Amino acid sequence: PDLDVEELEGVGKVTGAKLKEKGFYTVKDVAFASVKELAEIIGNEERALQIIESARKMLGLHSFISALEVYERRKKIRRISTGVRSLDELLGGGIETRAVTEVVGEFGSGKTQLCHQLAVMVQLPEERGGLGAKAIYIDTENTFRPERIMQMARARGLDPDQALNNIFYARAYSSDHQMILVEHAKSIVKQHNVALIVVDSVIAHFRSEFPGRENLAERQQKLNKHVADLLRLADAYDVAVVITNQVMAQPDVFFGNPLRPAGGNILAHGATYRLWLRKSKENIRIVKIFDSPYHPEGEVSFRITEEGLID
Ligand code: ADP
Ligand code: MG
């Protein structure tokens, strides 16, 4: 069970109230916080560090553990089937909880379709590849379509209205709003059985609000915090986070792939797994895993149909 922040050494009623006001209700919330954000709340970096340390100690997260223990913890990771058998195999069973999976691709490559499909798949019972859980969908490009969810739900034998009811939807109007929505998502995750958070796309607002080299540093700093917030949410609450990313052309590449993921290093370091989608002929799409800590590099294909993504 989640221990109240006030259980922490050095956190009394006053500090406890301040922390709760900013969304840090439990020892777990504090254990996964950064010193900077906590210092902003309690006004002292040293004390923030102490509080975080004691939260981590309380949860057994503060020091070395055996690799066997790591393995035992990893066994608790759950997976959401993508609904595409070959892709599931490539992923070792599906999209992982406690991780951020980044989906990169050109316009029309199927990123949004995959997000819709996962928001349906997560609802299926475990024996059918889901987690019997709900989804949170943060839409930054206004491309979420409930009609599409209904089609995919019907194809998987789910009640379409029920499927819609199990998705918490928010349109993000700016990068700041998008970041605030992650805070709201945290409180939903605590109250409901949510196992998937989608951010489609993670980058659009950041790219349009911070154009050019002169804004790059500020953009990357904000994006860094945003992705770190998402990763912490995934880790602390055992949910899968899926973010989509656009591609950009590299003018100086003459051989090989001239496209690279937007968002630079931040996304490269923030995401645990990265999938690259690209168009093939007609409705066929090719997906490749790159930058994974343990998956072999490989690619498979799927089709986008009325029923959703299929082998
Ligand atoms: P991205 O988000 O990467 O820009 P999308 O996920 O929006 O791309 O994918 C768009 C593709 O999905 C289009 O090629 C479109 O034809 C296909 N698509 C969308 N809806 C359907 C549908 N109902 N039936 C078949 N294909 C569809
Ligand atoms: Mg899209």
**Using a 6 Å cutoff on CB, does residue 108 contact ligand 1?**
yes
Alpha carbon of 302 to ligand 1 centroid (Å): 12
Give per-residue pLDDT as tens, 172-183: 999 999 999 999
DSSP lists the bridge partners of residue 299 as 288
Alpha carbon of 143 to ligand 2 centroid (Å): 6
Q: What is the residue extent of each domain of the chain?
A: 5-58, 73-310
Alpha carbon of 113 to ligand 1 centroid (Å): 6
CB 172 within 8 A of CB 178: yes
Pocket test of ligand 1: the residue of 84, 102, 113 to mutate, having most ligand atoms within 8 Å of its CB, is 113
Give per-residue pLDDT as tens, 31-43: 989 899 899 999 9
- The answer as to CATH 3.40.50.300 being correct for domain 73-310 is yes
45-58 vs 35-42: helix axis angle to the nearest 10? 120
Whole-angstrom distance, CA of residue 95 vs CA of residue 129: 10
**Using a 6 Å cutoff on CB, does residue 308 contact ligand 1?**
no
Give per-residue pLDDT as tens, 210-266: 998 899 889 998 998 999 999 999 999 999 999 999 998 877 777 777 788 888 776
Please give the number of the atom of ligand 1 that sits closest to the Cα of 143.
7
Predicted ipTM > 0.95: yes
Please give the number of the atom of ligand 1 that sits closest to the Cα of 141.
2
Give kind and range of the element (H or E) at residue 13: helix 13-21
Ligand showing the shortest atom-to-Cα distance for residue 105? 1
Whole-angstrom distance, CA of residue 289 vs CA of residue 139: 24
Number of Cα atoms under 13 Å in the Cβ half of residue 46: 0
**Using a 6 Å cutoff on CB, does residue 304 contact ligand 1?**
yes
Ligand showing the shortest atom-to-Cα distance for residue 110? 1
How many separate helices (H) and strands (E) can be counted in the chain?
13, 13
User: Which phi and psi (to 5°) does residue 100 adopt?
Assistant: -105, 120
The structural architecture, per CATH, of the domain 5-58 is Orthogonal Bundle (1.10)
**Using a 6 Å cutoff on CB, does residue 201 contact ligand 1?**
no
Give per-residue pLDDT as tens, 143-191: 999 999 999 999 999 999 999 999 999 999 999 999 999 999 999 999 9
